[in-house]
Amino acid sequence: MITIFGTTYFTTGAGLVVLVLAAPFLFWFARWLLRPNVEGKPRRVRWLAVGGTTLGLLALLAVGLFWDVYLIGQRAKELCEETGLTVTKQVSTNSLAGLTSIQSYSAAGLEFVEDDINGTRYRFSIKNGMPYRETISDFQSRYHLVGTTEPSLPNERRVERNFSHHLEKIVDRTSGEILGTLRETSIHAGWLDRVIFELTGFTYKPWTCGKTLQGAIVTGPERMALGALIDAVIRNPTNPRKDRNGHQELLHDRVIR
């Protein structure tokens, strides 16, 4: 990933190997192409002509090989701007479906969490200071955390096929109302990088862009995680005006719509 003049180019660098390998061939080709015109010219003139032609050919090859990387970077600017946290409603509850880690959320105000694992529904709580799991027939929680992935569609523009979008939503199970959404976008490498990885058997991890709570676009671990969505939507049942950690919290205006 390289950023030049405000545009981020999402490439692993594997495609640069092609340019390095092509450079000697292009140099030889330039010498062969210009030989009739520079033969008998001073050495400096010959090398300037051949070197300039070689650089020009390399530039044209780079544009051809990495043009889709440029288009991906331009489109990523727009799609990454659409990521982040959106809260439409804050609610007070002591439970949430769609989670299994009660240890992560019991100290923050949730008494139990619920989830469906391989077709069996479980409730996770803390009893006598230890995690406790029990089988249940149905969820008791009114609110459900749901994760979905939106892949690109076959009829979309070619550049759109390099992106996929992951959404985490907290939904009211009784009404279907979406209370909050956390959106991230995964960015895949260009065609040349993918071909090289397929031929070599290596793999790479797509880049993922999101936002910090302050609204800055990032592709690293600084972006908001699942806990940010839960903390923003689920309020402390004993004091709905405070967050689940007991602190008075004012969300940034950009988070609430």
pLDDT in tens, 150-180: 876 666 778 888 899 999 999 999 999 999 9
Residue 176: its pLDDT value, please?
A: 94
pLDDT, averaged across the chain = 82
Residue 242 predicted with pLDDT over 70 = no
Residue 96: burial class (beta carbons within 10 Å; 0-12, 13-18, 19+) = buried
Rg value, the chain, Cα: 27
Residue type for position 176:
G
Q: Per-residue confidence at 221, pLDDT binned at 50, 70, 90?
A: confident
Query: Encoding tokens for residue 156?
Result: 């979309």
Q: Which residue has the higher pLDDT, 208 or 35?
A: 208
Residue 257: its pLDDT value, please?
A: 43
Residue 191: its pLDDT value, please?
A: 85
Query: Encoding tokens for residue 190?
Result: 């260009």
Note the pTM of the prediction, 2 decimals. Answer: 0.75
Residue 190: its pLDDT value, please?
A: 87
DSSP annotation of 158: G
DSSP annotation of 155: T
Residue 132 predicted with pLDDT over 60 = yes
Residue 248 predicted with pLDDT over 50 = no
Residue 82: its pLDDT value, please?
A: 92
**Alpha-carbon torsion, ordered 99, 104, 107, 112, to 10 deg:** 20
Average pLDDT of 57-74? Answer: 84
